């Protein structure tokens, strides 16, 4: 991934890559705004007189049943989702990729054992594994982060393992071995740089899954605890009153869908840019 | 083939054992002691001797390893424990609810295959035309919209614009009233089928594109076969192999992943049972249900692997491997 191939620039030149990058940039800006408290109103402040108002100049996305400003809640919800999504993906990438690389490079019994353990985790549908974690730790933001991380760690282990297994048998690694290079150095110098591409693609896809899982857990009331806003929880709150206040459904629904779409587009075009063999096949 | 079957079955055993250890350990990690967890606030009324005898009765005075072994022994005998909250054996509850989830998963798969494969074929054959563009747009949206959002929007649109409210009353089984059952299942199946059909469409499209570029397809075209024969018989058959894999794996996950949709549409399936068990801290039921679902997923994946051989004659699981 030197300046020679510059897959990033290549990716931004495709329409889907550019759209994806733009959406993700907006998502990040919104989340940052929420983190800095740059919302028109307090996302938690209730104003019973102004409840269930439609979108207007005062309230861009209207107000909810407790008179809270929906736009402010969407912004703060973006912050909460970014915290969960980024930390959980960071955790699962670090742990998963380490397990995968070490297992593949060591090989033999370690590799076999690590992959059997990963198989066990693969036997659980993602939402079920997350629910099991919620059962043990109780609902909350930290639990959500840990639950999503646990779901995606085996996936990263598997994604990191495959290229290392292939690279281990290449001639340049054998050459490095034969001149007596230390194993750690071979791993850092020759194997890791070549195994990074699939991991990067996986990260962008995992970000979109993590976002969906966070929203799903919050929808079930097991994610970000109220009154702290989260998109999934706002969507759940809209059921029953969306008939008279459709903005309560549209705002969080569009927020979830657009962000996931952004990460998906970014991931797809990154994969095309990093793996020319697959270009245009998706 | 038979050898391979045995091999795969043998490999599934450590996975299932691992699953049982994971579920067992997870429940033991829950803070608080098991007797309190089982009886809730009433546990406070117990005397020391009552508590001790309860612990002895449930084997809680033994070491964790002994507890695990006796629990596993019971599981292997079909005894998944007893749900104190619902007053029924866990296995009975699971077997009672599983058909609902199974029906929902199968109907969603039907929707996904019926919509996804034709869309994928059309998108691949008419590559880079408006048809392809709309197909891919559909897939992008389908993959970006989580099922609980689709469900919420669907209910909203149907009730506001068509005055239709989904029947969330008492669930009826397909054998009792097939049409009423189908009406209840239609919306949840469509919801789950949307995202599923999006991934089926994408896989079909990329597999078709790959196959259509191959020499034997060009040969078939060169010898003057009609397009329909080339696409249907030569290309699609081979392109379906990855699609079947995907469908099988997703079906497996659907069997345990319909939690949210069952909740939204008030379907009494396994997912809702598990969710309620979690809300009520019914540990025996959580343990039994998660174990059951994981076993089903492992089993379905095994079947998918064996299914390869049936549709792809190039793959044989003989002794030459």
Helix axes A192-219, A247-274, angle to 10 degrees: 170
Q: Compute the distance between CA of residue B197 and CA of residue B211 in angstroms, rounded to an integer.
A: 20
Residue A276 DSSP class: G
CB within 8 Å: B144 and A260 = yes
d(C-alpha A227, C-alpha A46), whole Å:
11
Phi, psi of A99 (to 5 degrees): -60, -50
Cα–Cα distance, B241 to A72 (Å, whole number):
48
Give the residue ranges of DSSP H helices in A62-182: 70-106, 108-122, 126-137, 141-168, 171-178
Task: For chain A, say whether B294 makes contact (Cβ under 8 Å).
Answer: yes
Nearest to B146 among A238, A246, A256 (CB): A256
CA distance A160 to A168: 13
Query: What is the pTM (predicted TM-score) of this model?
Result: 0.85
Cα(B135)–Cα(B126) distance, integer angstroms: 10
pLDDT of residue B223: 87
Residues composing chain B: 321
Mean pLDDT, chain B, integer: 83
pLDDT of B319 > 50? The answer is no
pLDDT at B313: 62
Q: Taking chain B, what is the end-to-end CA distance rounded to the nearest angstrom?
A: 11
Determine which of A24-28, A74-78, A241-245, B186-190 has the lowest per-residue pLDDT on average. A241-245
Say if CB A261 and CB B138 are below 8 A apart: no
Question: What is the pLDDT at residue B166?
Answer: 66
CB contact under 8 A, A124 and B275: no
8 Å CB contact of B253 and A132: no
Q: Which of A243, A253, A265 sits opposite B159 (nearest CB)?
A: A243
Q: Classify the phi-psi angles of B59: left when phi > 0, otherwise alpha if psi is within -120 to 50, otherwise beta.
A: left
**Which residues lie across from B88 on neighbouring strands?**
B83
Residue A206 contacts residue A93 (beta carbons within 8 Å): yes
Are the Cβ atoms of B257 and A135 closer than 8 angstroms? no
Chain B residues touching residue A232 (CB < 8 angstroms):
148
Helix, coil or strand: residue A246: coil
Give the mutation candidate from B265, B294, B297, B301 for the A interface (greatest A CB count, under 10 A).
B294
What's the mean pLDDT in B141-151?
Answer: 89
Q: How far apart are CA A275 and CA A270, in angstroms?
A: 8
Return contacts of B11-16, CB within 8 angstroms, 24+ apart: B12/B298, B12/B299, B12/B302, B14/A116, B14/A119, B15/A116, B15/A119, B15/A120, B15/A123, B15/B298, B16/A123, B16/B294, B16/B295, B16/B298
Complex ipTM, two decimals? 0.82
Range in A28-37, A153-162, B25-34, B241-250 with the lowest mean pLDDT: B25-34
Chain A residue whose CA is closest to B157: A243
Residue whose C-alpha is closest to residue B104's, from B243, B266, B249, B242: B266
Which band of pLDDT confidence, cut at 50, 70 and 90, is reported for residue A164?
Answer: confident
Q: What is the DSSP letter of B230?
A: I
Q: Which residue in the set A119, A220, A256 is minimally distant from B275, CB to CB?
A: A220
- Distance from C-alpha of B264 to C-alpha of A206, rounded to nearest angstrom: 25
Banded model confidence at residue A281, pLDDT cuts 50, 70, 90 = very low
Following CA atoms B27, B30, B35, B38 in sequence, which dihedral angle do they give, to the nearest 10 degrees? Answer: -70
Subunit contact B209:A256, Cβ cutoff 8 A: no
How much is the pLDDT for A275? Answer: 67
pLDDT tens, residue by residue, A132-160 = 888 888 888 999 999 999 989 998 998 88
Q: Could you tell me the pLDDT band of residue A282, with boundaries at 50, 70 and 90?
A: very low
SS3 labels along B40-81: HHHHHHCCHHHHHHHHHHCCCCCCHHHHHHHHHHHHHCCCCC
Best of A113, A115, A135, A233 to disrupt the B interface (most B CBs within 10 Å) is: A135
Using one digit for the tens of pLDDT, what is the confidence trace for B257-309? 788 899 888 889 999 998 888 878 787 888 889 889 988 888 888 888 777 76
For residue B94, the model assigns a pLDDT of 93
CA pair distance A230, A260, nearest whole angstrom = 15
Query: Closest-CA residue in chain A for B132?
Result: A282
Q: Which of B104-118, B213-227, B231-245 holds the top average pLDDT?
A: B104-118
Model confidence at B320, in pLDDT bands (50, 70, 90)?
A: very low
Q: How far apart are CA A49 and CA A41, in angstroms?
A: 15
Tokens found for residue B52: 């001790």
Mean pLDDT of chain A: 86
Contact A128 B19 (CB under 8 A): no
User: Mapping DSSP to helix (H, G, I), strand (E, B) and coil, where does residue A244 land?
Assistant: coil
What does the CA dihedral B91, B95, B97, B102 come to, rounded to 10 degrees? 130
Q: Do A131 and B293 touch (CB under 8 A)?
A: no
pLDDT digit string (tens) for A249-276? Answer: 999 999 999 999 999 998 888 887 876 5
Check A120 against B15: CB less than 8 A apart.
yes
pLDDT at B118: 93
Q: Which chain B residue is nearest to residue A264, measuring alpha carbons?
A: B144
Instruction: Encode pLDDT of B61-117 as tens digits.
Output: 778 888 888 888 888 888 888 887 788 999 999 999 999 999 999 999 999 999 999
Q: Is a pLDDT exceeding 50 seen at residue A55? A: yes
pLDDT at A3 > cutoff 60: no
pLDDT at B314: 64
Which pLDDT does position B169 carry in this prediction?
63
Q: Do B15 and A220 touch (CB under 8 A)?
A: no
Contact between B206 and A212 using a beta-carbon 8 Å cutoff: no
CB contact under 8 A, B15 and A136: no
Position A280 pLDDT exceeds 50: no
CA distance A282 to chain B (A): 6
Substitution target in A27, A123, A150, A266 with the highest count of B β-carbons within 10 Å is A123
Q: What secondary structure letter does DSSP report for A53? A: P
Segment B129-140, tens digit of pLDDT:
898 999 888 898
- The closest of A98, A19, A91, A77 to A267, measured between CA atoms, is A19
User: H or E stretch including B83?
Assistant: strand B82-83
Please give the span between the terminal C-alpha atoms of chain A, in angstroms, as a whole number.
Answer: 22
Question: Is A109 buried (19+), middle (13-18) or exposed (0-12) by CB count in 10 A?
Answer: exposed
Nearest-angstrom CA–CA distance, A215 and A194 = 34
């Amino acid at each position: 991934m030197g300046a020679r191939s510059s897959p990033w620039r290549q990716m931004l030149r495709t329409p889907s890559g550019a759209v994806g990058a733009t959406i993700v940039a907006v998502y990040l800006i919104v989340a940052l705004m929420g983190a800095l408290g740059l919302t028109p109103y307090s996302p938690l402040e209730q104003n019973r007189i102004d409840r269930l108002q439609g979108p207007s100049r005062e309230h861009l996305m209207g107000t909810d049943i407790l008179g809270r400003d929906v736009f402010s809640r969407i912004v703060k919800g973006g912050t909460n989702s970014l915290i969960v999504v980024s930390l959980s993906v960071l955790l699962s990438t670090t742990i998963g990729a380490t397990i995968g690389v070490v297992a593949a490079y060591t090989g033999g019994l370690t590799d076999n054992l690590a992959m059997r353990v990963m198989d066990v985790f693969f036997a659980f549908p993602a939402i079920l594994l997350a629910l099991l974690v919620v059962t043990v730790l109780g609902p909350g933001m930290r639990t959500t982060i840990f639950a999503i991380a646990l779901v995606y760690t085996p996936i990263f282990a598997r994604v990191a393992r495959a290229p290392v297994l292939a690279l281990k048998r290449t001639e340049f690694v054998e050459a490095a071995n034969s001149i007596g290079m230390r194993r750690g150095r071979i791993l850092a110098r020759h194997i890791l740089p070549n195994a990074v591409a699939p991991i990067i693609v996986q990260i962008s896809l995992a970000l979109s899954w993590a976002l969906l899982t966070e929203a799903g857990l919050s929808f079930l009331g097991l994610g970000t605890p109220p009154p702290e806003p989260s998109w999934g929880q706002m969507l759940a709150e809209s059921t029953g009153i969306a008939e008279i206040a459709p903005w309560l459904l549209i705002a969080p629904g569009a927020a979830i869908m657009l962000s996931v779409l952004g990460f998906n587009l970014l991931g797809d075009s990154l994969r095309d840019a990093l793996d020319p063999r697959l270009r245009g096949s998706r | 083939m038979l050898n391979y079957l045995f091999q795969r079955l043998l490999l599934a055993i450590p996975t299932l054992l691992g699953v049982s250890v994971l579920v067992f350990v997870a429940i033991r990690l829950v803070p608080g002691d098991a007797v309190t967890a089982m009886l809730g606030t009433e546990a406070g009324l117990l005397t020391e001797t009552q508590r001790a005898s309860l612990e002895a009765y449930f084997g809680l005075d033994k070491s964790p390893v002994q507890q695990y072994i006796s629990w596993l022994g019971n599981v292997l005998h079909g005894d998944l424990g007893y749900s104190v909250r619902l007053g029924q054996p866990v296995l009975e509850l699971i077997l009672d609810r599983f058909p609902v989830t199974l029906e929902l998963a199968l109907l969603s798969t039907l929707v996904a295959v019926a919509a996804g494969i034709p869309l994928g074929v059309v998108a691949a054959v008419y590559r880079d035309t408006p048809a392809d563009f709309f197909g891919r747009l559909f897939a992008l949206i389908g993959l970006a919209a989580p099922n609980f959002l689709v469900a919420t929007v669907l209910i909203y649109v149907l009730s506001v614009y068509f005055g239709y409210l989904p029947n969330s009353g008492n669930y009826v089984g397909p054998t009792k009233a097939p049409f009423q059952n189908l009406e209840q299942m239609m919306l949840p199946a469509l919801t789950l089928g949307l995202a599923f059909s999006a991934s089926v469409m994408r896989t079909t499209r990329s597999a078709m594109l790959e196959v259509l570029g191959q020499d034997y397809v060009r040969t078939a075209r060169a010898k003057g076969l009609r397009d329909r024969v080339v696409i249907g018989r030569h290309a699609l058959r081979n392109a379906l192999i990855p699609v079947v894999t995907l469908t099988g794996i997703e079906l497996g996950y659907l069997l345990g992943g319909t939690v949210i949709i069952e909740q939204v549409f008030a379907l009494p399936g396994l997912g809702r049972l598990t969710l309620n068990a979690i809300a009520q801290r019914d540990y025996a039921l959580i343990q039994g249900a998660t174990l059951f679902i994981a076993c089903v997923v492992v089993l379905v994946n095994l079947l998918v692997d064996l299914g390869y051989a049936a549709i792809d004659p190039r793959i044989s699981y003989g002794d030459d491997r």
